[in-house]
C-alpha cells in the first residue's frame, strides 16, 4: 500500500465531555461489568452496547481507553456468545425476535471494533505522549482485538447466510493495512481470551472463510472451519503482487471479499495482495491422509468445534483450485414442487408409497399383532438400548448402565383388540401426503446442474444446507433427487436457495445392516442412484447420516427383491444423509444358479438431459 492511499476508516467524533455509566478507570469498569445481570443476557448486551457506544464519543487517553475495554471484554464476549445461540440453528427465515437479536449482536461487534480502532489510531498519532507502555505494543494489541471482532461479525453473517454488511470487508482490509504500514502485522500478540496470535493471522481467518464457499455449509461446519483457521492461518502467505502469486487476490482499498486471482483485472496494484494457499492445502491433505489411516472422522478442536472428513475434502477443494460454473444459467420463473428430507424424497420417488409398502407391496397393512410390538406405549419394555438399531458402533449395554432396573417388574397394559386397532390407527388416519408435504417454489434461474429458487412459502424450521430434497416441475410426474447447496438471505427480499441435482432418477429401497447380536436392524430408507456412464457418475447409495459406514455390508430390500451390497467409500455427506460408492455382492445361491443380483432401475424422461451434460 502506498502513502498516497490514506487509511479509510469511519470513526465517531469524541465530542462528549462526560460519561454516564461508570467512572473512567479500569477498576470502575471491571466492577460495573461484574454487576451486570448475567441471567438476562439481552439486557447485558444492550447495556454493553450503550456503554461502548458512549465511550467511543468520549475523549480519553489511548492506554486508559484500552484498559477499560479490556475490563469489559470478558463479559462482552460471553454475552455475545450466549445471545448468538438464540438465533443460530433457527429456521432459514428468522422470526422477528431472533432477527432483532442478530442485529443487536452485529451492532455490538461493530461498536467494540470501533472502540479498539480508536485506541490504535490515537496511539499511532500520539505515540510520543504515551509513557507507561510501549506504543507499538499498545497499537498492535488494539489492532488485533479490532480485527478479531470485525472477523466475528463476518462469521455471523456467513452463519446466517446473509450478505456481509456494507463496509465490513473494507474495514477489515484497512485495519490490516494500518498494521502492515506500521510494521505491526506479524508481531506476536498475547490474548488470554481469544488465543495468542498476530494481526495477520486474525485477519486471515475471515478472509479464508470467505474463500471456503460458506453458503454451502452448515452453521456448525462454518464455526468449525473458522476455529480451524485460527491454527492454520500461520500456513498462509500474503504476497506482494509484484513478486508473489496465489490462488486468491484481495484489494485492500475495496469493500470486497477475496476473488480468484485468475479472474481479477490485469495489473494488480500495490494495494493488492495474493493469498498463497498451497502450504495450507498440503497440510490439510496430510491431515486427511492421517484421518483415513487412523479410521477417524475428521478433527476436533475443542468441545464446541469440529469438522468432519468431508469438510476437510471441501476445504481442500475450495482452497486448492478454482471452481467455475459448469453450466450457463437461464433466467426462469417457472413453478417447482419441493419435498424436503430423505423420508419425503423416499415417499415421492416410491410413487407415494410408505416404507412398509415399498418393502411388502402397495396393499400391505400390518396385522394388529405386529402393530402392538411397534407401539412403545403398549409393548412390554425390553432390556436393551433402542440405539442398537442405528449402528454397530453405537450399541450400548443398557443392562450394565441401568442395573437397578433389574428389580423393577415389567408392566403390560391389557387392551382388547378393537381398542388397540383404534389407537394404532390414529396416526394412520393422517394421509401420507400430509406426513410428507411438498412446497411450491419459484425458479429464479436454472441450468442442467440445478436451480436457484425463490421461496414462495414458509418451509419447515429445520431446513438447512446439505438436506436431501426431491423436486418436480409443475405439470410433470417425475421426481428427481437434489441437495440444498447454498442459502442466501437479502434484506427486504425473499430467501434464495441453490439446489444441485444429484441424479435424474433413483430407486427407493429399505436397507438393513447386521447388528452385533447377529440380527438384522429394522429397515431404513435408502435411495439407489444409478450409474450415468456418459458423465462418469458411478452408482451410489443415499443413506441416513447415522448407522452406515464404509466397508459395511448392507441388504437392500424391496417387494420380492433382496440384494447384498458393500459400501466402499463415503463420497459425500449432507445435513441428514450420506452418499456411498458401493459394489454388489452375489450371494452363494446366486453364484450357484448363475442369477444376477443387481436391481433394475427404471428409465426416466430426464435421461436425455443428463446424456447432454
| Angle value at C-alpha 591, between 589 and 594, nearest 5 degrees | 105
Question: Given a cut of 50, is residue 426 above it in pLDDT?
Answer: no
Cell digits of residue 281: 492445502
Q: How many domains does the chain have?
A: 3
Question: Given a cut of 90, is residue 514 above it in pLDDT?
Answer: no
Residue-wise pLDDT for 464-487, tens only, equals 778 899 999 888 889 999 998 887
- CA-based torsion, 449, 455, 458, 463: positive or negative: positive
Tell me, yes or no, whether 78 and 177 share the same domain: yes
Per the model's pLDDT, the better-predicted residue between 155 and 517 turns out to be 155
Tell me, yes or no, whether 6 and 151 share the same domain: yes
**What pLDDT is stored for residue 532 in this prediction?**
74
Q: Say which residues have a Cβ less than 8 Å from residue 33's Cβ, sequence separation at least 6.
A: 71, 72, 74, 75
| Angle value at C-alpha 344, between 339 and 350, nearest 5 degrees | 110
CA distance to 22, 155, 234, 468, 603, per residue, from 72 (Å):
12, 22, 29, 44, 65
Q: Are 349 and 508 in contact (CB under 8 A)?
A: yes
Q: Are 542 and 526 in contact (CB under 8 A)?
A: yes
Q: Could you list the residue range(s) of the whole structural domain that residue 586 is in?
A: 507-611
Please give the radius of gyration of the chain, using alpha carbons only, rounded to the nearest integer.
29
Q: Which percentage of the chain shows pLDDT scores above 90?
A: 46
pLDDT band at 588 (very low <50, low <70, confident <90, very high): very low
Stretch among 68-77, 166-175, 399-408, 494-503 having the lowest mean pLDDT: 399-408
What's the mean pLDDT in 556-583?
A: 87
| Angle value at C-alpha 446, between 442 and 450, nearest 5 degrees | 100
Tell me, yes or no, whether 152 and 290 share the same domain: no
Residue-wise pLDDT for 277-318, tens only, equals 999 999 999 998 998 888 787 888 988 899 888 889 889 999
- Output the pTM of the full model: 0.73
d(CA 127, CA 131): 9
Cell digits of residue 480: 428427481
Q: What is the strand order of the sheet 259-260 is part of?
A: 237-239, 272-276, 248-251, 259-260
Cell digits of residue 276: 498463497
What's the mean pLDDT in 365-377?
A: 51
Query: Domain for residue 165, yes or no?
Result: yes
Per the model's pLDDT, the better-predicted residue between 244 and 228 turns out to be 228
Selection from 398, 501, 517 nearest residue 443 by Cα? 501
**What pLDDT is stored for residue 331 in this prediction?**
77
**What pLDDT is stored for residue 504 in this prediction?**
85
Residue-wise pLDDT for 437-452, tens only, equals 999 988 988 887 888 9
Cell digits of residue 496: 434464495
pLDDT band at 590 (very low <50, low <70, confident <90, very high): low
Tell me, yes or no, whether 145 and 290 share the same domain: no
pLDDT band at 38 (very low <50, low <70, confident <90, very high): confident
Count other C-beta atoms under 10 Å from residue 215's C-beta.
Answer: 18
CA distance to 341, 566, 568, per residue, from 554 (Å):
21, 6, 11
Query: Where a domain ends, among 167, 196, 225?
Result: 196
The mean predicted confidence, pLDDT, of the chain is 82
**What pLDDT is stored for residue 329 in this prediction?**
73
CATH number at residue 572: 2.40.10
Question: Given a cut of 50, is residue 2 above it in pLDDT?
Answer: no
**What pLDDT is stored for residue 4 in this prediction?**
54
Tell me, yes or no, whether 252 and 178 share the same domain: no
Question: Given a cut of 80, is residue 74 above it in pLDDT?
Answer: yes
Tell me, yes or no, whether 30 and 177 share the same domain: yes
Question: Given a cut of 90, is residue 400 above it in pLDDT?
Answer: no
Q: How many residues does the chain have?
A: 613
Selection from 343, 350, 358 nearest residue 557 by Cα? 358
What's the mean pLDDT in 422-428?
A: 47
Query: Where a domain ends, among 323, 353, 383?
Result: 323
pLDDT band at 418 (very low <50, low <70, confident <90, very high): very low
Tell me, yes or no, whether 32 and 151 share the same domain: yes
CA distance to 194, 280, 523, 564, per residue, from 387 (Å):
38, 39, 14, 23
Cα of first residue to Cα of last residue in the chain, in angstroms, is 45
Residue-wise pLDDT for 249-279, tens only, equals 999 999 999 999 988 877 778 889 999 999 9
Query: Domain for residue 420, yes or no?
Result: no
Q: Are 553 and 562 in contact (CB under 8 A)?
A: no
What's the mean pLDDT in 504-517?
A: 90
d(CA 68, CA 28): 9
Exposure class string for 189-213: b at 16+ Cβ within 10 A, else e: beeeebeebbbbbbbbbbbbbbbbb
CA distance to 35, 124, 278, 319, 431, per residue, from 236 (Å):
42, 27, 8, 11, 56
Crossing angle, helix 96-125 and helix 135-159, to 10 degrees? 160
Tell me, yes or no, whether 256 and 313 share the same domain: yes
Amino acid at each position: 500500500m502506498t502513502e498516497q492511499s490514506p487509511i479509510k476508516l469511519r470513526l465517531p467524533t469524541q465530542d462528549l465531555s462526560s460519561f454516564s455509566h461508570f467512572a473512567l478507570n479500569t477498576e470502575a469498569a471491571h466492577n460495573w461489568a461484574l454487576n451486570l445481570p448475567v441471567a438476562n443476557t439481552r439486557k447485558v448486551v444492550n447495556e454493553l452496547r450503550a456503554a461502548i457506544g458512549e465511550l467511543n464519543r468520549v475523549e480519553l487517553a489511548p492506554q486508559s481507553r484500552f484498559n477499560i475495554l479490556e475490563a469489559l471484554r470478558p463479559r462482552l464476549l460471553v454475552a455475545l456468545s450466549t445471545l448468538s445461540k438464540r438465533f443460530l440453528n433457527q429456521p432459514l427465515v428468522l422470526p422477528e425476535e431472533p432477527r432483532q437479536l442478530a442485529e443487536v449482536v452485529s451492532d455490538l461487534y461493530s461498536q467494540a471494533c470501533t472502540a479498539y480502532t480508536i485506541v490504535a489510531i490515537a496511539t499511532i498519532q500520539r505515540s510520543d505522549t504515551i509513557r507507561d507502555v510501549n506504543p507499538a505494543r499498545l497499537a498492535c494489541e488494539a489492532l488485533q482485538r479490532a480485527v478479531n471482532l470485525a472477523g466475528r461479525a463476518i462469521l455471523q453473517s456467513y452463519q446466517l447466510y446473509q450478505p456481509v454488511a456494507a463496509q465490513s470487508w473494507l474495514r477489515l482490509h484497512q485495519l490490516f493495512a494500518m498494521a502492515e504500514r506500521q510494521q505491526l502485522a506479524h508481531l506476536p500478540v498475547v490474548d488470554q481470551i481469544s488465543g495468542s496470535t498476530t494481526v495477520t493471522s486474525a485477519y486471515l481467518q475471515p478472509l479464508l472463510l470467505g474463500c471456503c464457499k460458506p453458503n454451502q455449509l452448515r452453521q456448525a461446519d462454518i464455526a468449525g472451519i473458522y476455529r480451524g483457521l485460527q491454527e492454520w492461518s500461520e500456513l498462509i502467505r500474503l504476497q506482494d503482487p509484484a513478486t508473489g502469486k496465489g490462488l486468491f487476490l484481495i484489494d485492500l482499498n475495496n469493500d470486497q471479499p477475496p476473488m480468484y486471482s485468475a479472474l481479477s483485472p490485469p495489473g494488480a496494484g500495490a494495494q493488492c495482495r495474493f493469498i498463497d494457499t498451497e502450504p495450507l492445502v498440503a497440510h490439510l491433505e496430510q491431515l486427511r491422509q492421517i484421518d483415513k489411516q487412523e479410521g477417524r472422522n475428521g478433527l476436533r478442536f475443542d468441545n464446541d468445534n469440529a469438522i468432519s472428513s468431508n469438510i476437510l475434502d471441501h476445504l481442500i477443494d475450495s482452497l486448492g483450485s478454482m471452481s467455475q460454473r459448469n453450466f450457463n444459467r437461464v433466467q426462469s420463473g417457472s413453478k417447482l414442487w419441493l419435498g424436503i428430507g430423505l423420508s419425503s424424497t423416499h415417499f415421492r420417488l416410491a410413487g407415494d408409497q410408505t416404507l412398509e409398502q415399498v418393502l411388502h407391496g402397495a396393499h400391505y397393512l400390518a396385522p394388529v399383532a405386529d402393530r402392538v410390538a411397534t407401539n412403545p406405549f403398549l409393548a412390554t419394555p425390553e432390556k436393551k438400548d433402542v440405539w442398537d438399531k442405528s449402528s454397530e458402533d453405537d450399541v450400548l449395554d443398557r443392562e450394565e448402565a441401568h442395573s437397578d432396573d433389574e428389580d423393577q417388574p415389567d408392566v403390560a397394559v391389557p387392551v382388547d383388540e378393537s381398542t388397540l386397532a383404534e389407537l394404532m390407527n390414529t396416526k394412520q388416519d393422517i394421509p401420507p401426503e400430509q406426513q410428507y408435504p411438498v412446497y411450491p417454489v419459484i425458479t429464479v434461474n436454472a441450468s442442467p446442474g440445478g436451480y436457484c429458487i425463490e421461496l414462495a412459502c414458509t418451509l419447515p424450521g429445520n431446513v438447512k444446507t446439505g438436506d436431501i430434497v426431491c423436486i418436480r416441475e409443475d405439470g410433470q410426474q417425475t421426481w428427481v433427487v437434489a441437495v440444498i447447496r447454498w442459502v442466501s438471505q437479502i434484506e427486504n427480499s425473499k430467501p434464495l436457495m441453490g439446489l444441485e441435482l444429484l441424479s435424474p432418477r433413483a430407486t427407493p429401497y429399505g436397507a438393513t445392516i447386521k447388528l452385533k447380536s447377529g440380527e438384522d436392524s429394522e429397515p431404513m430408507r435408502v435411495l439407489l442412484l444409478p450409474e450415468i456412464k456418459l458423465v462418469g457418475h458411478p452408482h451410489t447409495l443415499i443413506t441416513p447420516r447415522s448407522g452406515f459406514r464404509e466397508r459395511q455390508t448392507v441388504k437392500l430390500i424391496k417387494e420380492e427383491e433382496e440384494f447384498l451390497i458393500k459400501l466402499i467409500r463415503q463420497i459425500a455427506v449432507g445435513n441428514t444423509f450420506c452418499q456411498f460408492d458401493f459394489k454388489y455382492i452375489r450371494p452363494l445361491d446366486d453364484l450357484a444358479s448363475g442369477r444376477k443380483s443387481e436391481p433394475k432401475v427404471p428409465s426416466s424422461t430426464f435421461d436425455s438431459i443428463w446424456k447432454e451434460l
